[in-house]
Amino acid sequence: MLEAILLLLAGVGVFIAGMNMLSSGLEKSAGGGLKKLLGKISGNRFSGVGVGAGVTAIIQSSSATSVMVIGFVNAGIMTLFQATAIIMGANIGTTITGVIVSLKSLGISQYAATLAFIGVMMTFFNKDKIKQIGGILCGFGLIFVGLDLMGMAFDPDTYPEITNFFMGVFETIEFPLLLILCGMVFTALIQSSSAATGIFIMMVGTGALNLDCALFLVLGSNIGTCITAILACMGASVNAKRTALIHLSFNIIGTVIFTIFLWIFKDGAVWLLQSLISQPEMQLAWFHVIFNVTTTLLLLPFVKQLVALATKLIPDKKKDEKSQLQFKYVDDLLLKTPPVAIMQVKKEIEYMSSLARENMAKAVESLGESKTDNETAIHDAEAIIDFTNTALTKYLIKLSPLVDGADEKSIGSYFHVLNDVERIGDHAENFQKIASQMQEAGLQFSETAKTEIQEMGGKVMRMFEVAEEAFEDADKTRLAELTSLENEVDAMKRDLSSKHFARLAEGSCKMEASAYFFSAIAGLERVADHLVNVGYSILNPTGSQSEARKTGEVD
**With contact defined as beta carbons under 8 Å apart, do 482 and 532 qualify?**
yes
- Residue 440: CATH number of its domain: 1.20.58.220
C-alpha to C-alpha distance for 468 and 481, rounded to whole angstroms:
13
Q: Does 536 map to a domain?
A: yes
Q: Does 322 map to a domain?
A: no
**Within this chain, do residues 403 and 537 fall inside the same structural domain, yes or no?**
yes
**Between helices 406-441 and 338-369, what is the axis angle to 10°?**
20
**Within this chain, do residues 254 and 353 fall inside the same structural domain, yes or no?**
no
**With contact defined as beta carbons under 8 Å apart, do 11 and 147 qualify?**
yes
Q: In this structure, how many other beta carbons lie within 10 angstroms of the beta carbon of residue 247? A: 31
What tens digit of pLDDT does each residue of 43-86 get? 678 888 888 888 887 776 777 788 788 878 877 777 888 889 88
**Within this chain, do residues 285 and 376 fall inside the same structural domain, yes or no?**
no
What is the DSSP-derived secondary structure letter of residue 301? G
**Within this chain, do residues 409 and 476 fall inside the same structural domain, yes or no?**
yes
pLDDT under 50: residue ranges of the chain: 320-322, 544, 546, 548, 550-555
What tens digit of pLDDT does each residue of 394-450 get? 999 999 988 777 778 888 889 999 999 999 999 999 999 988 888 888 888 888 888
The CB-side HSE value for 23 (13 A sphere, CA atoms) comes to 25
Q: Does 224 map to a domain?
A: yes
* pLDDT value of residue 550: 43
C-alpha to C-alpha distance for 466 and 133, rounded to whole angstroms:
37
For 107, left (φ over 0), alpha (ψ -120 to 50), or beta? left
Of residues 509, 490, 488, the one with CA closest to residue 499: 509
C-alpha to C-alpha distance for 411 and 181, rounded to whole angstroms:
44
Count up the domains in the chain and report the number.
2
- The domain of 493 spans 334-550
**Within this chain, do residues 307 and 340 fall inside the same structural domain, yes or no?**
no
Residues 6 or more apart whose CB falls under 8 angstroms from that of 457 comprise 360, 364, 367, 368, 524
Of residues 211, 229, 220, the one with CA closest to residue 268: 211
Q: Does 325 map to a domain?
A: no
Gap between the terminal Cα atoms of the chain: 73
Diameter of the chain by CA atoms? 108
**Within this chain, do residues 290 and 363 fall inside the same structural domain, yes or no?**
no
**Within this chain, do residues 309 and 358 fall inside the same structural domain, yes or no?**
no
C-alpha to C-alpha distance for 72 and 80, rounded to whole angstroms:
10
C-alpha to C-alpha distance for 433 and 427, rounded to whole angstroms:
10
**Within this chain, do residues 306 and 338 fall inside the same structural domain, yes or no?**
no
Q: Does 318 map to a domain?
A: no
What tens digit of pLDDT does each residue of 198-250 get? 888 888 888 888 888 899 999 999 898 888 778 777 766 788 888 889 989 99
C-alpha to C-alpha distance for 492 and 483, rounded to whole angstroms:
14
